[in-house]
Structure 1
Amino acid sequence: MRALITGIKGFTGRYVAAELQAAGWEVFGIGAHEEAGDTLYRRADLGDVARLREVVAEAQPDAVVHLAAVAFVGHGDAESFYRVNLIGTRNLLEALASAECPPSCVLLASSANVYGNATEGMLSESTPANPANDYAVSKLAMEYMANLWKDRLPIVTVRPFNYTGVGQAENFLLPKIVAHFRRRAEVIELGNLDVWRDFSDVRAVARAYRRLIELRPIGQTFNVCSGRTHSLRDVIAIAEGITGHRIRVEVNPAFVRSNEVTRLCGDPSRLMATLPGWETPPLEETLGWMLEGEA
C-alpha cells in the first residue's frame, strides 16, 4: 500500500510517516522546500495544480493524508490561511480526482478550532461551528469546499484538538514551556494562564490517522482528542513536578489574544467507537517524554 503525505517534513508529518512505515506502508511525501537525498519526497506547491498532478501520477497513492497547512493561529498573514488551507486543499483534491487511479481514502486534517468559543460540555462532531479567527474560518471553509468533492473522492475529515510532542516548534505553547524547563529558566512570559485545552500526544494522533485510512470510514468527521482538559497553570505544575524546577510566570499582555478560545474539550466517543482500543497517553506522560527530549 502506498500513502502520500502532504507536509511530510512538518511536525505531524514526520510522525505520521513513521507510523505508516512501521505498519508496512510505502510512504511518499510532498512539501514546500527542497530536500536532498530523500527519493520518496517531492517539492510541490499547493498553489500549483499541474505540479500536484505530476506528483500524484508518479506516486499513485492508495491513500492520502493531507497535513500541509498554515497551522499557527497567531500567524500574522491572514491571507495565507485561505490561500494554503482552502485554495491549496482544493487544488490537491482536483489533482487527486483527475488521477488515473484515484486513492481509496483521502484524510483531510481540519481543526477543533472550528468550534470556536463554545464552552458548554464536551464538543462533539455535531456541535455547531463558531470559528473565532481566520485560521478556524479557513479550516471550516475547507470542510465545506471538500463536500463538493464527496461524490468523486473518498474523504475522511479529522478535527484534531491540541496535540504536542518532541519536535514541535517553540512558538506553540507546550514546547515553549518545556524548553524553558529544560534550560531551567527562572522566568517564563505567557499570555492568558486560564486557557483550558484538550491535549493529545502526537504519536497517538498519528496512530489514529493510520487506522482511519486503513479502515476508510468514508464521509465521516472525527474529533481527535482525549476528552480531558488542562489549563496552562496545570501544565506548569506538572512540569515542575517532573523536573523539580520552579519557574516564575509573568503574564505578558502582548501574548493575550482578544479572540482567544477559552476552553476546548473534545468528545472522542465517535473516534473511540470506530477505532477500538485507541487512546492518547495522559498529559503527564507526554510532558515527561518531551522533557527528556528524545523522539
Structure 2
Amino acid sequence: MSNTKLVINYHITEKCNYDCQFCFAKWENPNEIHAKRGLSEQLIDQLASYYIGSGLQSTKVRLNFAGGEPLMLGKRFIEIVSYAKQQGFELSLITNGHYLTTQFIEQHSHYFSIIGISYDSQDLNTQRKIGRIDRKNNQLTPTELARRIKLIRHISPNTEIKVNTVVNALNWQENFTPLLDVITPKKWKVLKVLPVKNDLLTISNQQFEHFVMAHQSIAAMSAEDNDSMTQSYLMINPQGLFYQNQIHGSDYLYSPPIIEHGVEHCLSQIEFDLNKFANRYIKTINNSHFLTTNTNIEVNHV
C-alpha cells in the first residue's frame, strides 16, 4: 500500500441534473454538510490531519469530488475545492460533463489533476433511456464532449482526462471505439452496473465480458466487475459519513459522522478492503490486469 495513492471519494452532493436509473448516489437526505458554512472544511481538516499531517499514514492522497453532480453547487463547490487544495490534497473531479462550461474550464480546471467524465452512450436515445438528460431535454453529444475535452487540454495541459462508462442492459453491445479514438482519455474506466437499490438495467457476467473483449484494442481501458468494486472504494456521503456497499444486501453500511468522531474511529466502523483497493491500481511495466469474475479471461489495460 505504501506505493499506492489513496483515493478518498467525497460524494459532496446528491443533487444532479440527470436521473440515471442505476445511480447509487441517492440518499434522500437533505442534510448535506456543504450547505452549512464551515462543515465541509472541518471534514477536510479531519481528513488532512489523519492522512497528510500525522506522518503515520500515506502522504499520497487524492481527494476525488463526486456526486450527484458537484458542479451544481456553483461557487460553494469552488470554495471547498480551493480549501482542500490549500490543505495539501491532490484533487480530482467526477462530473457528467453538463456544467463543464468554457468559463468553468478556463477558471477552475487547473485545480484538478484528473477530470473524469461519466459517459454511458454515444446514442442520444440510449442516453434518454438511461436518464442522462436534464429537465430541458439537454444532452451531451459526442461532438460536444470532444470539444470540452479538447478545451481542458488546451487550458490545463497537466490535467488528465478520464472517462467512466457503466455497462448496462442498454449499452453492453455498443461500440465505443470510434469515440475513444477521438477523445483519447488517459483512462477509460468500464464498470459493470452495480445493483444497489434495485436490479434495473443489470447484466450478466457474460454480457460484461462481451463488452470488455470487444474493446480490447483500447489501451486505456480499465474494467471492474461487481466483486472488484465491493469494499474497494473509500467513500464519504454528503452528510460526512464513511459508507460502503455490502457484499450481501442492497443497502449501505455507514460510519458515525466523521466530524464528530474522527477519521480513525469512523474507519473502524465500515469494511474497506485495502487489498482490493490496491489491486485496482496494480501496474506492471506495460500494463495492469483485470480478471473477470468466474472466468479465465484476462484483459490487459494501461
TM-score (normalised: structure 2): 0.35
Which structure has more helix as a fraction of its residues?
A: 1
